[in-house]
Amino acid sequence: MTSCAALPPAHPFDDDKLREECGVFGVVGVTDAANFVALGMHALQHRGQEAGGIITFAPESGFQSAHRFGLVRDNFTRASLMETLPGTIGIGHVRYSTAGSKGATAIRDVQPFFGEFAMGGAAIAHNGNITNAEAIRRELIERGSIFQSSSDSECIIHLMARSIQKNIPERMKDALRRIEGAFSVVAMTRTKLIGVRDALGVRPLVLGRVGDGWVLSSETCALDIIGAEFVREVEPGEMVVISADGGVQSYHPFERLKPRFCIFEHVYFSRPDSILGGRSVYETRRQIGVELAREAPVDADLVCPVPDSGTPAAIGYAAESGIPFGLGITRNQYMGRTFIEPTEQIRNMGVRLKLNVNRALIEGKRVILVDDSVVRGTTSQKIREMILDAGAREVHFRIASPPTAWPCFYGVDTPERGKLLAATMSEDEMCAHLDVDSLRFISLDGLYRAVGEAKGRNQNQPQYCDACFSGEYPVAPSDMIAKGFAVKAAE
């Protein structure tokens, strides 16, 4: 199965974090839509850094597209390229690579995808993962469909092509009713911008207004960059069909279910300046630190974040514990993902190429390191070594999420379960493995309290998708189960 999730990242030292799925963005009713889309993609770059694509439509030239590997700033800021993307409507997508290496054929996997139908063309960009994609792909191929990519998202285009409905939105409804998993979709026809979220609302999608035009985006931070006004979130299970002159039409093509938004968006994936479910992501992460300090206090001299994702939680931990906050680790902001050829000697330098310890602040101190998660544990070990080399007396890890013990099948790159440290070790065993003075994770109830659920997690009907922590998958990963993946039995 392939999705917006990643193979091992291009950078040799970024392999110990979960990789976000994708970012989608669309706009209608503005002059030079491609420039707005490029700015939105730039704001969503944290959700995918391997490749990006834009498709626009103008009556004079029809649908035009550009797909490139690399960062938005390196590709979609050149006037010579942007001039080839005219029109007042457009959509874009940023992603991590999925299948194969970068090369002549891998560009086929870069979204948005385009299809020509009897009633006109349509383009689609998808954030998430279709958990029954392999079964659907086999069925479609047996019926004569010819796939151009290895992406699960292309299944949507083929399902739309086989629908007998009379217009694109209705064909999209038909297609999306066939798929399982998590998805936020941004699509476009010649005149309409379409946004859809799956019935559980696992992946985010928001609606904004810019001048006389409309915007769809994975996060609110991308509205800010173009000066758009946040209108509302697209509801779980909702489809919005937007035209420049007709406004927003809302439909609910799926069975209404209790939402299960991805809780890890609050922990790590979304930008801290975004708003999720009416809550500031930054404030939620600060509150995670507060809850962590209440659950796992320790005598120490300094609270230090592992940059940059651990910073809000470290601020909250320091404020609640009364222990001073300090930037004991500095990130090299100018180290690109293709820094130098990673020879063995360079690989051995590990995280030191990215992070450096402030020895004057660390030396002689009992240090609490606050990080967002522990996946394989390799980076945590290297950071512990750096802190001790700088003269720290003690090293205590406090983690702003519960132990990541289960893989995600909803569009997030997660190692196989056997490679997740928490899948094979208890908290005490992980502490010994990392060789630190103490290690504590926030509890699942504590995380829920931090995101606004005062009573913690409802065990009978969880309020969020937390499968990576609990092993309770709100949508069965059909393709993986068919391959033998053992889903956790219901208690």
Catalytic residue from among 22, 262, 304, 468? 22
C-alpha of 209 from chain center: 23
How far apart are the C-alpha atoms of 407 and 477, rounded to whole Å?
A: 11
> Are residues 150 and 98 in contact, defined by beta-carbon separation less than 8 angstroms?
yes
* Token representation of residue 194: 């379409």
- Please state, in angstroms and rounded to a whole number, the distance separating the CA atoms of residues 103 and 96: 14
Burial annotation 30-55 (CB, 10 A radius, 16+ → b, else e): bebbbbbbbbbbbbbbbbbbbbbbbb
Torsion on CA atoms 330, 96, 264, 374, rounded to nearest 10: -50
Annotated active-site residue 22? The verdict is yes
CB 2 within 8 A of CB 111: no
CA dist 363 and 392 (Å) reads 5
DSSP state, 329?
E
Q: In 370-402, which positions are buried (b, 16+ CB within 10 angstroms) versus exposed (e)?
A: bbbbbbebbbbbbbbbbbbebebebbbbbbbbb
Q: Measured between alpha carbons, how far is 409 from 412 in angstroms, rounded to an integer? A: 7
The strand pairing partners of 186, in sequence order, are 125, 195
Q: Which of 263, 237, 238, 20 is nearest to 128 (CA)?
A: 20
Measured between alpha carbons, how far apart are the two ends of the chain, in Å? 28
Amino acid making up residue 34: A
Beta bridge partners, 240, equal 195, 250
Q: Which two tokens stand for residue 52?
A: 């990006």
Helix, coil or strand: residue 378: helix
Active site residues: 22
